[in-house]
Structure 1
Amino acid sequence: MSLKTRTLHGFFWSLTQQFGVQITMILVTVFLARILEPADFGLIGMLAVFMALGNSLIDAGMTSSLIRTKDADQRDYSTVFFINLAVGLLVYLAMFLSAGLISQFFNQPALESIIKVYCLTFLIYPFSAVQRTRLVKKMDFKTEMKVTIPSTIVGGIFGLVLAIQGFGVWALVGMNLAQNLLLSIQFWIYSKWRPSWVVDWERFKYHFGFGAKLTIAGVINSVFSNIYHLVIGKFFPVTQLGYYAKADSLKQIPVKNISNTLSKVTFPMFSEIQDDNEKLKIAYKRIMQQVLFWLTPVMVFSIVLAEPLFRIVLTEKWLPAVPYFQILCFIGLMFPIHSYNLNILKVKGRSDLYLKLEIIKKSLTVLGIVVALPFGIFALLWTQVILNLVAFGINSFYSGRFIGYNVWRQIRDIFPIFLVGAIAGFACWLVKDLIQNVPFLDWIKLIAGGLMGVCIYFLISWGAKTEPFVDFRTIILKR
């Protein structure tokens, strides 16, 4: 099977998995949000930075090294497997012993016991990390779909049962543990690979040599991607963190479905053509345009229709989260561009440059938080938007040099998509604003505004023959 065919198959199954998981999680989240209080989600939001940090340390960038290593064998996989287990145990012990200090930092005594149970995922995840990596390397996303969707459904049902029984925040803890445990068990069942009792220190040095810089970058990125949870949890009421956490998680639904699906497929695909810069440039351009072509209208319409959407889905008690969600949607639009630019650096083996760029960007983040914090939570959010624009310039400048695709050419290729999205968003807003005093007002605004926006977006794209529209029609539909 050719690389192109495997990529298309991988995209299809990965997208099916993402949509299956996210549809399930949307339904579960809607019911949980109606049962639980914003403060419950705020307590879990306080753990976001620690969970992300722990996962980065466990992986240590070595699974990425396995994917880009063309001749990885049993000794490579077994070595990474046992190292991951050892690091997972150390990370859990560190969190267990630090639980009291963390709860004191946030002034939330209930957080101590939550940490000790919630972080058991650090012991579960390493058991299936290599099995999952092997599937990604082979682009076998069909099997991954078979594993992920049932685990999400069963774990979600378990969480809902706990919430209905009045367990509060522990419903979220139980759901997370159940989903991760089922994932790990099923990856062992479906995967034909089993570790050998061997740790090859030469192979460890090789993979860690590549992964160490990615690990440091990943740790930095994990901390700073979730630093707003930390800052809001420390300096604002826990309910406000609950609003922010919910808005951020809802923003991630389209981003994860569309962007992460392709990111998972593109890294192994980029790795196979890492020595051909022209192919890398063409593949990168097409993928970035295709992702933004589908993500842009979703995020734009979400901004415009946020209020009726929240009122219908989450009820009135979550309306204070609407402006958070609208601002965060701007950040969601930038995520895929960051992801693919950084993938270029990884497949080129420039983990050193990857690390340097992360340090520069996160230094700017600290400065932005210090400046914005005295002006309140909305200043923090808009600072996030500005910093993401700056990060795009930094990432695309360096990755563009490797494949001959500079910042301005990237902007030129994606600007038409944003322009069409803005026009469609304006049409959506006009329709929504004109509808007043009718039965089922929120539903009518959501449906009529969304339909008008979608029609305008695709009509303009068809009439202007934009590149991603033509690519989709000639490549994807013909397949």
Structure 2
Amino acid sequence: MSLGRGAAHGAAWNLMTAVGERGLGFIVLAILIRHVTLRDVGVVAIASALSEIGRMVTTGGAGEQVIASPGDRSVEAGAFWAQMLLALAMSAALFAAAPLLAMAYDARPIAWVTRALSVNIVIGAFLIVPSARLAQRFGFRALSLMSLGATSLGGVVALALVFTGHGLPALIAQRIVGITFYAVAASITARWRPPAFPSWRVIGDAMRFNIPMMGAAFVDYIAATGYVVLIGIRMPVAAVGQFRIAQRLAEVLQELSIFPASKVFLPVFVAVRDEPERRFAVARSLMDVIAIFSLAAAAIAGAVAKPLVVLMFGPRWVEAAPVFAAMSLIVPAAAIYAFVNPMLTALRRPVLVSVFAGLNAVTIALAAWFAAPFGLITLAWTLALRGVVTALLLLPALSIGIGRSAWPLLRLFVAPFIALIAARVAAAAAVSAFAGGASLGAGVMVAQLAIGGLVAAAVFLGVLLILAPQRVIALARRLLAIFRRTVVVAEVAEAG
């Protein structure tokens, strides 16, 4: 298989799997959430974040090292055993610290849940080499199917447990079963077994390669999800459960609105890094797409936050709705950060990438720490405001990336932001007029979802057509051209 065709197939399978996993995962989550307590969700959110931080750090960079050295069994052995030793140490540390963590969070179940989930850190080390081997030979179809299988099996086991009255164990088993299946299936498919222990020199080489990426993985996870461990210290665990549902919805919103475009950023910027004028033109074009799509997603999601949460998770979780509505405004800032990272990477500025990644993590950690004691709504709006401030702090990074002032890029967000405000106000008025009331019944929620979503989408598009008609027309033409090229490529491939 050619490089281009392999990459295209890989992207297609990754996208299809992401959509399939997300849909299946939310179906399972919606069922589970209706049978567990708010406190259980909060406990698992905190313990899962702690174990995931350990797993992200211990596996950071190892897969990339193996992919960069195809067929080198010495590198594979060094990568595996370096991460395995780190995983064992991290898992042991979490196991020992579990009682102290339970006291810190004032929730006794956190001790045994953290100990149970610490196993995932070790299991994750067995995924490094086999998944990297499959990626080397474009085995994305196999990886995608295994990932989907892991989600499915974990969901089945969790549902079986929750329907027999074991709510908290169900949430834990879902995570352990899923990653175990993935590790076993990947090892069998890649025909890999743990290698013999190599020399300490080989392990040292692997450590030196991976340490910078471990730090980057830690920082990025804290900024994306891991800051929930700070929130748990500052507010009741049950409130953390409500927050985690809103946070998860915001994460999915970011994935859906940013994922399609963000995957092309790095190769595109690498291609134009030596041509300043083209680099600016490309950056402006991509930022235009991000600004419109991310703010459109935030406008619609915020408008239907209440019916979406109630219909998916039940009336008990209604307090998560206004939290999600506020946190949806983080999407544009996340989009700008997703833009800055590959731009600076393409320019070979890894130190700056680390600096701005650290800035992103520190600002969100500080906002979460100081706002959490004042309640969920204050916390959510503080995080949203922090997103705006961070976007401004990222202006120097954008300026470095394009080689000139970044204000022309930031101004692209003005018209869509005005459209967002208009869309939310109009949707709220329409819902109040035609489907208002305090009822949380399914019929009322469906009506609010339909009316709020349609009005928000229509008003957003209408306002944007008034303020920036040429941008909307240009975007429509661009998308149509991409669709036509995709169809032509598919037809040629089928004919060939």
Band of TM-score, shorter chain: 0.7 to 0.9
Match of 1:167 in 2: 166
Show the counterpart of 2:34. 34
Report the residue type matching 1:478 in the other structure. Answer: R
What amino acid does structure 1 have at the position aligned with 2:476?
F
CA contact (8 A) 2:77 2:195 kept: yes
Matches within 5 A, 1:57-456: 57-64=57-64, 69=68, 73-133=72-132, 141-191=140-190, 197=196, 199=198, 208-209=207-208, 211-223=210-222, 225-226=224-225, 228-260=227-259, 263=262, 265-266=263-264, 269=267, 273=271, 276=274, 286-365=285-364, 367-368=366-367, 371-372=370-371, 375-398=374-397, 400-404=399-403, 406-436=405-435, 440-456=443-459
Paired AA for residue 452 in structure 2: G
> Please, what TM-score do these two structures have when normalized by structure 1?
0.85
1:52 — aligned with what?
Answer: 52
Flag the 1:401–1:140 CA change in 2: closer, same or farther, 3 A.
farther
Q: Is the 8 A contact 1:61 1:212 kept in 2?
A: yes
Q: Is the 8 A contact 1:66 1:207 kept in 2?
A: no
Counterpart contact for 1:76–1:200, Cα < 8 Å: no
Amino acid across the alignment from 1:172: L
Deviations 1:231-260 (A, max 9, x none): 432232221111111111122222234434
Q: Which residue of 1 aligns with 2:478?
A: 471
User: Aligned-pair distance for 1:90?
Assistant: 1.6
Change in CA separation of 1:108 and 1:343 when aligned onto 2, cut-off 3 Å: same
| Of 265-274 and 5-14, the range deviating more from structure 2 | 265-274
- Structure 1 position 295, deviation (Å): 3.9
Output the amino acid matched with 2:45. G
Structure 1: segments with no counterpart, 5+ residues = none
Counterpart CA distance in 2 for 1:213 and 1:165 is 45
Q: CA RMSD in A?
A: 3.6
Partners of 2:17 and 2:129 in 1: how far apart?
Answer: 19
Structure 2 CA distance for partners of 1:380 and 1:444, relative to 1, 3 Å: closer
Distance 2:302 2:314 in 1: 17
The CA deviation string for residues 180-228 of structure 1, in whole angstroms up to 9 with x for no partner, is 1122222223436677657587776666545423322433443455464
Which shifted more, 178-187 or 464-473? 464-473
Distance 2:88 2:22 in 1: 30
Higher mean alpha-carbon deviation, 401-410 vs 279-288, is at 279-288
| Cα shift at 1:365 | 4.5
Q: Secondary structure at the match of 1:166?
A: coil
1:129 CA drift (Å): 2.5
Normalised TM-score (structure 2):
0.82
* Structure 2 runs not aligned, ≥5 long: 487-496
Instruction: Judge conservation of contact 1:342–1:395 (CA < 8 Å) in 2.
Output: no
Residues 316 and 286 of structure 1: CA distance in aligned 2, closer, same or farther (over 3 Å): same
How far is 1:409 from its partner?
Answer: 3.1
Q: Relative contact order (C-alpha < 8 Å, sep 6+): which is higher?
A: 1
Aligned residues: 477
Q: 1:161-186 deviations in whole A, cap 9, x for unaligned?
A: 11111112111000111111122222
Contact 2:266 2:345 in 1 (8 A): no
Contact 2:65-2:79 at 8 Å conserved across structures: no
The secondary structure found in structure 2 opposite 1:429 is helix
Alignment-mate amino acid for residue 449 of structure 1: G
Preserved contact between residue 161 and residue 169 of structure 2 (Cα < 8 Å): yes
1:241 maps to amino acid: V
CA distance in 1, matches of 2:313, 2:432: 21
**Relative to structure 1, is the Cα distance of residues 186 and 275 closer, same or farther in structure 2, using a 3 angstrom cutoff?**
farther
